[in-house]
A and B are shown apart, each in its own frame.
Chain A
Amino acid sequence: AQSVTQLGSHVSVSEGALVLLRCNYSSSVPPYLFWYVQYPNQGLQLLLKYTSAATLVKGINGFEAEFKKSETSFHLTKPSAHMSDAAEYFCAVTNAGGTSYGKLTFGQGTILTVHP
């Protein structure tokens, strides 16, 4: 069984400030972890993924995430927010083995608002 919890359904930051979106996971086997972004009225786009290589993963648009097994966390960060980062962000987990067929389990999403 696997699950994802995103802490905070809404996060608000000022332009230029640090962005931190929190994600904790639960998985009975080593997980693969993902962050997706959804802009209004669009489908989801992959930001970055962790699949058991380097624990610090860099993605598109200046985002990065660190896999911390001891904390079962995969928080998403960006040093300096831009207005164009305003969107909804989803953390997701899967594993490659067994009968999961790579099915993703999504968190409930975090809406990021960026103020001028």
Chain B
Amino acid sequence: NAGVTQTPKFRILKIGQSMTLQCTQDMNHNYMYWYRQDPGMGLKLIYYSVGAGITDKGEVPNGYNVSRSTTEDFPLRLELAAPSQTSVYFCASRDRFYREYFGPGTRLTVL
């Protein structure tokens, strides 16, 4: 049972480039979330999904997009990267007892 896995672990982008952060969970959870973590700011919800084919915006969705074609995968797409998107990104899934399981994170720098 791998839990929640994220790739890549680190990435440096130039302004205006695009990339996809991958997230996969093997626990058959319907609920999945993307957060960004900035120092001293806690975690902010970017997008979430309540099941395959259903996604919705969180608190800070601008500049990001998501899709959920399967229960297992929930990729986060960054279009036209900006320095403000420099952050650590965490994917999480949630069980029916409201316990969230987090991936190890992707550290993204936009220069």
Contacts and interface: CB of A to CB of B under 8 A. Distances in A.
Contacts, number: 57
Nearest to A44: B102
A36 to B, nearest CB: 8
A109 B45 contact: no
A43 B45 contact: no
Contact of A108 (B42, B50, B92, B98): B42
Interface stretch (A13-21, A61-69, A72-80, A99-107): A99-107
B42 A43 contact: no
A42 B104 contact: yes
Given A9-B40, A90-B42, A109-B40, A46 B99 contact: yes
- Interface size band for B: 20 to 34
Interface string A43-55: 1111001010000
A24 interface: no
Interface in B84-111: 90, 92, 94, 97-105
A109 B42 contact: yes
Interface of A: 9, 32, 34, 36, 41-46, 49, 51, 90, 94, 96, 101-104, 106-109
